[in-house]
Structure 1
Amino acid sequence: MTAHLLSELISFLDGLPEPRIVMSADYRIVAANAAYIREFGDGTPLAGRMCYEVSHRFDVPCDQAGESCPLKLSLEDGNPQRVLHLHHTPHGEEHVAVETTPIRDDEGRIAYFVETMRVVRQASSRAAAQGLVGRSPAFIAMLEKILRVANSDAAVVLLGETGTGKELVARAIHEASAREEGPFVAVDCAGMTETLFESELFGYEKGAFTGATHRKPGLVEAASGGTLFLDEIGELPLSLQVKLLRLLETGTYRRVGGLDWLPADFRLVTATHRDLRAMVQAETFRRDLYFRINTFPIHTPALHERSGDIPLLAISLLERVDRKAGRRFSPAALEWLAGRRYSGNIRELRNLVERASLLADGEVIDLPHLIDLADDLPPEAGPAAGSFALNEVVSLATLERRYLAWARARPGLDAARLAERLGVSPRTLYRKLQGRAAD
């Protein structure tokens, strides 16, 4: 590609609103548009610097530091690639959706790459007073799926243990979609009777039954142009599953006591902590409804799957529930919280944080404020699955290899943080990991 064409490309990108950079195949930034400099720049020139140094503070490419590298993936198969990364910004680390597109020269060879960056405003990698919070691999995997499906109208089912924040995930899908300006309507399916389900979901006409003194729009109508979230759909009786299936298959509904079929316009998100596949096999959940709602399943991880996020979540929850602003946990309190097993997941952690905030009078919430509440919690579980343990005497070299393999797989620890926790430089860690891989 000639310098003239490169100049035209840079000029074109500079007029676009999304942050973009042009890179060569050796990860070197050729140019950045005004939006990128404004949102991600650090006040120093970007041209000539390595993308991984600017975005991650790494001294090697992302794929050599335990991250997926969209440039390398795009170079290998010649197609655009999308990944979700944690990037350094002037505001701190942020979740950033990165899309890398190869640019070919007149002979069809890849000459440059254009990377488009979009900060994910539906989630934070730092303590936040609202929304989704996390930075562990399990959390990022969930967030990647949210971003993949958000802009479609595909039905999403959220699967996971109780208390994992499914409604927050549903809201994030809504807010990242083209329907974000429309309403978000949540319905709890647990305990729904047939009469209540129909009147709440579809609404009713005046005089439809005793007490129906006026026409009432239903929640399907209220969700028009937006998202309808059906929580605990696994609790819906078979008789009501039929009515929901008819709504989803025909895209129409009729108010109770009404004659006219009305069009429905909503994006469906459902959630359950139950095993729907097992329920289908047991014939307690309709097979046809299962396939209708299960277009795009997303697993919402339990706290033990994202244990590295517990301190971050605890600090965020304290901001949300504490009546006194600016208070903080002691290091011992955070360590104690991170070491617990939570059968109720985030909901249980929130309760524990709120109770401790009521017990504390000072500016610091310390270990005694939490331990005082431990009696009403389930007994501590044994060693968590995945704990580092040895049942034999091994050589120090073998011990180091096994420990590095275990530590590298810990959630919430990228290569830079792992090196810091181990007390070695990133370069030393990379050398040790490469030596372990070569053994």
Structure 2
Amino acid sequence: MIHSPSAPPELVSFLDGLAEPHILLDDSYRILAANVAYQRQFGTAETVVGRTCHAVSHHFSVPCDQAGESCPLAQARSSGQRERVLHLHHTPQGEEYVQIDLAPVLGAGGRPVFFVEKMVPLPVAAQTQRSAHGLIGRSPAFQRMMGLVARVAPSRAAVLLLGESGTGKELVARAVHQGSTRARRSLVPADCASMPEALFESELFGHEKGAFTGATQARPGLVEAANGGTLFLDEVGDIPLPLQVKLLRLLETGTYRRVGSTELRHADLRVVSATHRHLPRMVAEGRFREDLYYRLGTFPIHLPPLRERQGDIALLASALLERVVQPPRVLLLSDAALALLEAQPYPGNVRELRNLLERTALLCDGDAIEADHVRQAVACGLPPPASAPWQGVAAAESPMAGGAAMGRALDADALRRALAAHRGNRAALAQQLGLSERSLYRRIRALRSLD
């Protein structure tokens, strides 16, 4: 344990015996002590004692709540109670999401004198730069989602992931699983949309030999494979209505039967489900059981679409390029190319961004992706403008598919970046952004009125 002389020795000794990383803070945000577990996890105890927590964790010169972040110490000082937040911390390994659990130590007058902060990095690879296979992002919408993941993961609650196609629901399901006490057991995905109705029950619950034509031997189902772990029901809105009652029985009692068997089996599992469908509407239309909806949706989490994740495209593009480009080749994105990528509407979300980057990489022969490469990739496979079927506003707005939607998605920050990066005339910029010149000039005038 490394600590300041002003740190109470009894409290220092107590923290040093804890398995999780802990630091001790005073009322002025100054770090008084860092335990052995902190040194093992972060390796910086010698350089943090005596410094403020916001300077170490965020490189801020002021407390978090004065820099646009939530500050658990300020909250605990006000409430006198334990506070919990998710923060994006600077660590020796880079930026990582860390769950902060801060508890005040009250003095004789009942006011907080010291603060004990426990830091637990999320077990899922929720880094901002290093892995295209993990969750990547730092936008406010992404951080709100990750905060919910961090809160629900250690519990036993059923989680319902809601969001558009391509937003990364399976990655979030994996994050929930890896943050739970079941992380050492299997996460078993079940793609409900791809299972034929006739085989759905057998795939999920298994079957006995001779249960139906072709069942030459007994076979366990996905529920048995997930026993002790997590069952991930992807596209749960596509489960046939007659089979929903059997899934409900599993959730309510933990029991099920294989097809062709009368034996009642037990399963100890957690269910995480996901859908892009509007389940309340399906319930109202009688296409989804209301009781099953409430069983699955104990803790719903909305996954933000890419268009709501301001600033995340640069991080995602860098990581995804490393995945789609075969080493030893390395590709860099020019500012103009990034501005054009950020101007796209991405109805297919992260999956669409990955496909666009892969096409762009194939169209680039050099070491840097330019705006022209992105334009070619966007237009790839589309019919020539002369045969385009779009009429009216959409045709006037853009010579490429989705131009109108792209123009609507072009926000003020993206337009500023595009203007700063473009070196040609306004007509060329309008074509690059999928807008008519009139629309571009109208947007520039509106932008200047904001500035």
TM range (shorter): 0.7 to 0.9
CA distance in 1, matches of 2:344, 2:106: 53
Question: Which of 222, 226, 246 matches 2:249?
Answer: 246
Aligned partners of 2:80, 2:347: CA distance in 1, in Å? 45
Greater mean deviation of Cα atoms: 82-91 or 330-339: 330-339
The match for 2:120 among 118, 121, 145 is: 118
Residues 373-388 of structure 1: pairs in structure 2 closer than 5 A: 373-375=377-379, 376=382, 378-380=401-403, 381=405, 382-384=407-409, 387=412
Which residue does the alignment assign to 2:358?
354
In structure 2, distance between residues paired with 1:162 and 1:126: 23
With structure 1 as the length reference, what TM-score do the two structures score?
Answer: 0.84
Aligned mates of 1:127, 1:55 — CA distance in 2: 19
The corresponding residue for 2:422 is none
Name which of structure 1's ranges 292-301 and 40-49 shifts more when overlaid on structure 2.
40-49
Q: Given residue 359 of structure 1, which amino acid in structure 2 is its aligned partner?
A: L
In the other structure, the counterpart of 1:80 is 82
| Cα distance in 2 between the residues matched to 1:92 and 1:318 | 19
1:272 correspondence with 2:275: yes
Shift of 1:120: 2.1
* Larger RCO (CA within 8 A; separation ≥ 6): 1
Residue number in structure 2 paired with 1:414: none
The equivalent of 2:368 in structure 1 is 364
> Which deviates further from its counterpart, 235-244 or 207-216?
235-244
Q: Which residue does 1:338 correspond to in 2?
A: 342
Q: What amino acid sits opposite 1:211 in the alignment?
A: G
Distance verdict in 2 for CA 1:129–1:379, change over 3 Å:
closer
Q: How many residues align?
A: 396
Amino acid aligned to 2:408: P
Distance change (3 Å), C-alpha of 1:92 and 1:194: closer
Match of 1:61 in 2: 63
- The one-letter code sitting in structure 1 at the alignment partner of 2:220 is P
RMSD, aligned α-carbons: 2.5
**Greater CA deviation, 170-179 or 351-360?**
351-360
**Is 1:305 the equivalent of 2:311?**
no
Q: Deviations over 1:295-332 (max 9, x none)?
A: 00000110001031011111111122222343332332
Distance in 1 (alpha carbons) for counterparts of 2:156 and 2:248: 17
**Structure 1 consecutive aligned stretches of length 4 or more whose deviation exceeds 6 Å:** 388-391
Alignment of 1:141-180 (within 5 A): 141-180=144-183
**1:188-337 correspondence to structure 2 within 5 Å:** 188-325=191-328, 326-337=330-341
Percentage identity across paired residues of the two chains: 55
Alignment of 1:22-37 (within 5 A): 22-37=24-39
Cα distance change of structure 1 residues 161 and 333 upon mapping to structure 2, 3 Å threshold: same
CA–CA separation in structure 1 for the residues paired with 2:15 and 2:71: 22
Residues 17-51 of structure 1, C-alpha deviation per residue, up to 9 Å, x if partnerless?
32211111121222222332444455754333221
CA contact (8 A) 2:343 2:409 kept: no
Letter in 2 for 1:373: A
Q: Hey, what's the Cα distance between the residues in 2 that align with 1:336 and 1:138?
A: 22
Q: Distance in 1 between matches of 2:222 and 2:40?
A: 42
Task: Give me the whole-angstrom Cα distance separating, in 1, the residues matched to 2:6 and 2:359.
Answer: 65
| CA–CA distance in structure 1, aligned partners of residues 29 and 159 of structure 2 | 36
In 1, Cα distance between equivalents of 2:26 and 2:310? 38
Match in the other structure for 2:13: 11
* Offset at residue 357 of structure 1 (A): 2.1
Partners of 1:93 and 1:344 lie apart in 2 by 27
Amino acid at match of 2:239: L
Contact kept, 8 Å, 1:332 with 1:366, in 2: the verdict is yes
Alpha-carbon displacement from aligned partner over 1:70-120 (angstroms, at most 9, x marks no partner): 001111111111111111212222211111111123554322000111222
Rounded Cα–Cα distance in structure 2 between residues aligned with 1:42 and 1:263: 48
Task: Write the distance in 2 (CA, Å) between the matches of 1:155 and 1:385.
Answer: 37
Contact 1:83/1:144 (8 A) holds in 2: yes
1:329/1:365 contact within 8 Å kept: yes
Structure 2, gaps ≥5 residues long: 383-399, 416-441
Measure how far apart 1:369 and its partner are: 2.5
Deviates more, 1:12-21 or 1:249-258: 12-21
In structure 2, what is the Cα distance between the partners aligned to 1:112 and 1:387?
Answer: 44
Alignment partner, residue 183 of structure 1: 186
Partner deviation per Cα, 1:379-418 (whole Å, 9 max, x = no partner) = 2322338647999x99x9xx7xx66xxxxxxxxxxxxxxx
What stretches of structure 1 of length at least 5 have no aligned partner? 404-439
CA distance in structure 2 between the aligned counterparts of 1:11 and 1:213, rounded to whole angstroms: 64
Map of 1:431 onto structure 2: none
